[in-house]
Amino acid sequence: MLMLMKTKDELEKDEKYRRTDMYAENFLPHGKYKKDNGDIIELMDNDLHIEFNGKMRQLIAVYDAKGILDACPICDAPSEDGSFVVMTDTHMLYPCWGCDKLIERERNEDIRKEDYV
Ligand SMILES: [Zn+2]
């Protein structure tokens, strides 16, 4: 999945967004993210856009997955401590460390297991 990233420092220097592929394993507990170069950043501290339905969507919030979904709708792994859901202006993204997938839904839909049966 494609992400456009501009870190805090790059924002100050007015640099261009960098394109990067992202995978569930790049997302680390409690809203952190491991960049390709190994640096670990706080998702919310940076200017990030995630591709969804062919458009780039701005990341606006990170929420604890607990209370939003109890288990992964694909592999059934229970939400781990520190697991979280990323919200953009139009959708939500759940990086599952059980099946290593990025699960996406429109924000007006719930992430529920029934949707996948
Ligand atoms: Zn899963």
Beta carbons of 2 and 21 less than 8 angstroms apart: yes
CA torsion angle for 22, 106, 88, 43 (degrees, to 10)? -40
- What confidence score (pLDDT) does residue 68 get? 87
Distance 66 CA to ligand 1 centre (A): 14
- What confidence score (pLDDT) does residue 17 get? 92
Query: From its phi and psi, is residue 82 left (phi > 0), alpha (psi between -120 and 50) or beta?
Result: left
Low-confidence ranges of the chain (pLDDT < 50): 117
Distance 101 CA to ligand 1 centre (A): 6
Domain chopping of the chain, boundaries:
2-116
Distance 71 CA to ligand 1 centre (A): 8
